[in-house]
Structure 1
């Protein structure tokens, strides 16, 4: 059976886009949380190469650092594991609407972890970006046509994201070990 980690699961451990045995990690002991741990404390109490899938929805923006958590995700994931991350997308209003948000993400933030990135020597974690999707507030859902191609997504982000702000970035990565 496939092993799934839901990072920052809160009360929603089962709410993942994958099928298999789900383990939930969160800093607070809530219903469904299997591992109680502060995600800003490293290493996480999880064995190397344990998970086939990792899901992190609306959690990374609350952490003190981004590189270390991505390195932990890399460490605990099996080779070729699939990682799905959802974060507020700058310059959207949700980026810092929550006062506990410590990080902002752009369309290109996760490029840093690809083999081809020019500054990737600052981290050993390597991921292949499989899919990016920009989602919008319901008033701007008509803009979701941009998700049909990378060209449209990049063009929108560079030229129009200040005018019609995005809500979140959904990104799917593959672990490259």
Structure 2
């Protein structure tokens, strides 16, 4: 299974092809993620990993369309990003966007189109310390009510979203 680790920095996933805007150790493709087309063939990858990267991307439409283009049918894309209620979301001045639970599926709906992807997993992760338990309980009862009314009281840590590409 050919894997692309997008925005991996110097920590490319073992066995994966690394792409970043700088030539860090382990990076095979040096390219700005905001500029398409990426120097990658159509349908080349079966898995794409973006761990704490999407919040740094200026051109979300370009990035989303390029991910779709380079992925084969059935490819899995794994996103991990801070939830907007997390201190990590606003604590890093290089974060351009602050994501809610539905943000990444909405990007695919807007920029790739309906019927061209499937959400496999879309969930919030909590740190498991302090009052997080109450936030987690509310989230499990109603995701919408959690984000609308309780996210700032009981902040989540990260969003984990897995998308399957359909072609």
TM-score of the aligned structures, taking structure 1 as reference length: 0.82
Q: Which runs of no fewer than 5 residues in structure 2 stay unpaired?
A: none
128 and 113 in structure 1: CA distance in 2 versus 1, 3 angstrom threshold:
farther
1:90 Cα shift? 1.0
TM alignment of 1:8-157, pairs within 5 A: 8-14=7-13, 21-113=15-107, 120=109, 122-125=110-113, 126-139=116-129, 140-142=131-133, 143-144=135-136, 152-157=142-147
Distance of 1:64 and 1:85 partners within structure 2: 16
Distance of 1:29 and 1:159 partners within structure 2: 43
1:113 Cα shift? 4.7
1:27 Cα shift? 0.8
Q: Which runs of no fewer than 5 residues in structure 1 stay unpaired?
A: 16-20, 115-119
Aligned residues: 163
1:96 Cα shift? 2.0
Q: Secondary structure at the match of 1:34?
A: strand
Distance of 2:23 and 2:86 partners within structure 1: 31
TM-score of the aligned structures, taking structure 2 as reference length: 0.86
Q: Secondary structure at the match of 2:91?
A: coil
1:91–1:162 Cα contact (<8 Å) kept: yes
1:9 Cα shift? 0.8
Q: Please, what is the CA RMSD of the aligned residues?
A: 2.1
Distance of 1:146 and 1:130 partners within structure 2: 22
